[in-house]
């Protein structure tokens, strides 16, 4: 019995959300008195895999099949299932990413396991139960869920766990082959297009998010959002009306029907804070609201607020942010 963590790579490195999952997985292993192994798929440098020891991982299984560079659910599931079987894993940990959630659901069926996504706590294991807390009602509540099946599958909410930094020996990296066939790649993508983040930060992984709403009056004023984001090392986002009007692309829309983010710091500029928008950001640790309307509902959900004109306030923030020593 062991804990198996699925880690995702991007450009040879391990995604931040997967480092969080690895840290979570090794803590669960410690709680259960066992060890944590990682399974890596796709394009990840071996040095990056060996460094998973910092997150408490002792061993990494790596399937270097070239065809796995792209995400193909059936093939990924087969590799992870093979690793789970080889390690007799009873707890599987993923990041709650688009890939992690897709793979987790299929594995839950294949391994006859209990699955919880969007998980925000370590398990409580008293009395033979295995209870984790997960975010529900779009951030307005939490639910405690008992994972009763023999195999427990957990998809950890992004930015909910610290990345641990242990000292010690490098993790051993072992090759894994799941004997994949062409049939496993039947639904392989024809094409993968990565956004040009311009050296910027991916929104779902970001620790700081600067977001703009209709108060910015038009896409031509977005440099305010972008410059502040750049000065803070943040990702940029927007409200629903802004993406509906095509001022910004849909993948930047945060809210109930957009993406959910939970950064350490969320700065909202010219966003009134409709309840649907709050649903996408309300698990952010610190919320800053800048709005010229003192009655904007967003102030009720904020930690810091400035009532003022974005066109006057934001340049001052950019200046102050640039003056920070990093």
Partner 1 sequence: MKILVCISNVPDTTSKINFTADNKEFDKNGVQYVINPWDEYALTRAIELKEAKGGTVTVLNVGEADAEPNIRKALAIGADDAIRVNAKPVDAFFVAQQIAAVAKENNYDMILMGKESIDYNGSQVHGMVGEILGIPSVVPAFKLDMVDDSTARLEREIEGGKEVVEVKLPFVASAQQPMSEPRIPNMRGIMTARTKPLKVVEPTGAEAKAEYVNYSKPEKKGGVKMIDPENAGELITLLRNEAKVL
User: 51-70: which residues touch partner 1 (CB under 8 A)?
Assistant: 70
Which positions from 87 through 126 interact with partner 1, judged by CB under 8 A? 96-99, 101-106, 108-110, 113-118
163 forms part of the interface with partner 1 (CB under 8 A): no
Give the number of other Cβ atoms within 10 Å of residue 324's Cβ.
8
- What tokens were used for 77? 């599931």
Backbone angles phi and psi of 125, in degrees to 5 = -120, 25
CA angle 17, 145, 128 (to 5 degrees): 110
**241 lines the binding site for partner 1 (CB under 8 A):** no
3-state secondary structure of 42: coil
Site string for partner 1, 9-28 (x = CB under 8 A): -x----x-x-----------
Q: How far is the CB of 35 from partner 1 (least distance, A)?
A: 25
**Footprint on residues 285-314 left by partner 1 (CB under 8 A):** 285-286, 288-289, 299-309, 312-313
Is residue 268 at the binding interface for partner 1, with CB under 8 A as the rule? no
Q: Are strands 131-136 and 13-14 parallel, antiparallel or unpaired?
A: unpaired
| Options 1, 12, 85, 144; binder of partner 1; rule CB under 8 A | 144
Q: Is 249 exposed, middle or buried (0-12, 13-18, 19+ CB in 10 A)?
A: exposed
Closest to partner 1 by CB, 53 or 211? 211
| Closest to partner 1 by CB, 173 or 238 | 238
Closest C-alpha to 160, from 52, 27, 39: 27
The HSE-up count of residue 237 (CA atoms within 13 Å, CB side) is 31
Note whether 250 binds partner 1 by CB under 8 A.
yes
* Residues 127, 151, 135: CA angle, nearest 5 degrees: 75
Tell which positions 167-226 bind partner 1, by CB under 8 A.
Answer: 186-195, 197, 202, 204-205, 208
Nearer to partner 1, 86 or 146 (CB): 146
């Amino acid at each position: 019995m062991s804990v198996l963590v699925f880690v995702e790579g991007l450009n040879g490195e391990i995604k931040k959300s997967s480092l969080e999952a690895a840290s979570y997985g090794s803590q669960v292993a410690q709680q259960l008195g066992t060890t944590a192994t990682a399974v890596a798929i796709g394009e990840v440098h071996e040095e990056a895999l060996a460094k998973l020891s910092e997150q408490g991982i002792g061993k990494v299984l790596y399937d270097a099949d070239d065809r796995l560079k792209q995400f193909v659910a059936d093939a990924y599931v087969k590799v992870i299932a093979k690793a789970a079987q080889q390690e007799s894993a009873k707890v599987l940990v993923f990041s709650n990413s688009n890939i992690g959630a897709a793979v987790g659901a299929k594995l839950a069926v294949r391994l006859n396991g209990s699955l919880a996504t969007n998980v925000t706590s370590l398990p409580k294991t008293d009395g033979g139960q295995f209870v984790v807390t997960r975010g529900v009602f779009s951030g307005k509540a939490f639910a405690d869920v008992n994972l009763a099946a023999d195999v427990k599958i957990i998809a950890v909410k992004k930015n909910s766990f610290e990345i641990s930094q242990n000292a010690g020996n490098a993790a051993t990296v072992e090759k894994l082959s799941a004997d994949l066939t062409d049939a496993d790649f039947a639904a392989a993508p024809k094409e993968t297009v990565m956004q040009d983040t311009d050296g910027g930060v991916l929104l779902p992984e970001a620790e700081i998010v600067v977001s703009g709403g209709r108060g910015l009056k038009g896409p031509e004023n977005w440099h305010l959002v972008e410059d502040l984001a750049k000065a803070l090392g943040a990702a940029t986002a927007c409200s629903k009306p802004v993406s509906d009007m095509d001022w910004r692309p849909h993948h930047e829309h945060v809210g109930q029907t957009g993406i959910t983010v939970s950064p350490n710091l969320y700065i909202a500029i010219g966003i009134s804070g409709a309840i649907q928008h709050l649903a996408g950001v309300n698990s952010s640790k610190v919320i800053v609201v800048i709005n010229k309307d003192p009655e904007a509902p967003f102030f009720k959900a904020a930690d810091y607020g400035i009532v003022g004109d974005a066109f006057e306030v934001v340049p001052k923030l950019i200046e102050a942010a640039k003056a920070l020593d990093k």
